[in-house]
Each structure stands twice: as structure tokens, then as C-alpha cells.
A and B are shown apart, each in its own frame.
Chain A
Amino acid sequence: DVKVTQSSRYLVKRTGEKVFLECVQDMDHENMFWYRQDPGLGLRLIYFSYDVKMKEKGDIPEGYSVSREKKERFSLILESASTNQTSMYLCASSTAGGSYEQYFGPGTRLTVT
């Protein structure tokens, strides 16, 4: 059974803290993605990676960075958390090419106080 796991289901951080969200997939997928999900706004792409050490900005990259040192692991970093980054964060992976479906992790609900 294919699996995408995220390091935490719930996380509470203070404003200004550096936050790491980790995602691991066991399907040897080339592509990995980070989204945030907010009510009424759907899924918005933050960053994606199409290979190890390769990354590309999505639609809302401001305030975030990413790291992909190994094929199976993709990290999202909030350099200095702010309250407007309180959200649900979803990680996904897929085979390269665009015709393949994504597999999603369970999500991390981050609250920044």
C-alpha cells in the first residue's frame, strides 16, 4: 500500500519561531509537493520538487522555503512563523509527467499564536 507520511498531525508554534514540516513517501516518486489548504480557497501550491535538490516555486511561496536532500523526503520550512500561516498543510507525491495522480499525506494542522 502506497504511503505518504507527514511528521505531525497537529502543531502549535509561536510567532517568529522557525518551523519544519517533514514529508516522506515510499513510492520512489520523482515529484513532491507542498500545499496549504484554507476554507474557501482550496489547495494552493507553495513549492514543488521534481528531483533531488531541485525545487520550483508554486503560487504562494512567500514566507516558505523547502529542502529535498533525498528522493523520499521533502521538507517545508517556515523561516519565521506568522499568524497568517496558520493553516492545514498537505504534502503530496506523484510520478513525473503530469498524467499521473497525486498521493497525499494526512496533513498537518499548524497553529501559529
Chain B
Amino acid sequence: AQSVAQPEDQVNVAEGNPLTVKCTYSVSGNPYLFWYVQYPNRGLQFLLKYITGDNLVKGSYGFEAEFNKSQTSFHLKKPSALVSDSALYFCAVRRLATGGSYIPTFGRGTSLIVHP
């Protein structure tokens, strides 16, 4: 079954330090991978995606993610964290539903806390 795992419930980082939020995937075939962010009391917002091509994907708000096929990982990164980056982050992978449509399946989310 297609799935993603986010091994950390929470990540703490000091403002100005680099941050990494981890995601590993399990798919058959080529993975379509996504990152979303959820700020408090808001819906999810799309950050970036990997479909094919360059393993380093750049997205919104200075975030980037590195696709690593050998490690089946798609970690989210940012060189210098901001307090305003504090939010819930979700990794997602495309899967094939019973009826033949492609839909995303989400990880459980990682809470990122950036300390001043």
C-alpha cells in the first residue's frame, strides 16, 4: 500500500538555525510527493511537490525538500528558521483509490516549534 511516515511528532529548533522535518514513503512505482503546512486554526496550504526531475524541490516561504530514492525519503528543509514557521507540517503521497482515481494519503503530521 502507498503510504508516508513522519517519524517525529514534534521538532524543536532555535530561530535562525536550519530545520528539517522528516518524511519517508512506501510506494510501488514512481512516487508523487507533497508537503503541506497548517497554521493554527487554518486549513492546509500547499508548500511544494516532487513529481519528477531535480531531486531538490523549492517551494513557498523559503522551504525546499530533497527527494532521495535510495532512502525513500522526502525531507522538508529550510536554511534559517523563523518563529513564524511554527506550524503543523504534513507529508503526502499519491495513491490509487479503489475506483481508479489518484488521491493523496497523508502522514500524521509533525509539529514544528521555532523558539526565539
Q: Total A-B pairs in contact (CB under 8 Å)?
A: 65
A29 to B111, CA, bound (A): 30
**What residues of chain B lie closer than 8 Å to A4, measured between beta carbons?**
43
**What residues of chain B lie closer than 8 Å to A74, measured between beta carbons?**
none
Q: Mark A93-113, 1 if CB is under 8 A from B, else 0.
A: 000111101111111000000
Q: Mark B87-116, 1 if CB is under 8 A from A, else 0.
A: 000100010011101111111110000000
**What residues of chain A lie closer than 8 Å to B98, measured between beta carbons?**
56-57
Size of the chain B interface, CB-CB below 8 angstroms: 26
Size of the chain A interface, CB-CB below 8 angstroms: 26
15 residue pairs of the A-B complex, CB under 8 angstroms, read A40-B9, A42-B106, A43-B44, A43-B90, A48-B97, A48-B103, A50-B101, A56-B101, A98-B32, A99-B94, A99-B102, A101-B49, A102-B44, A103-B46, A106-B42
Using a CB–CB cutoff of 8 Å, the interface residues on chain B facing chain A are 9, 32, 34, 36, 41-46, 49, 51, 90, 94, 97-99, 101-109
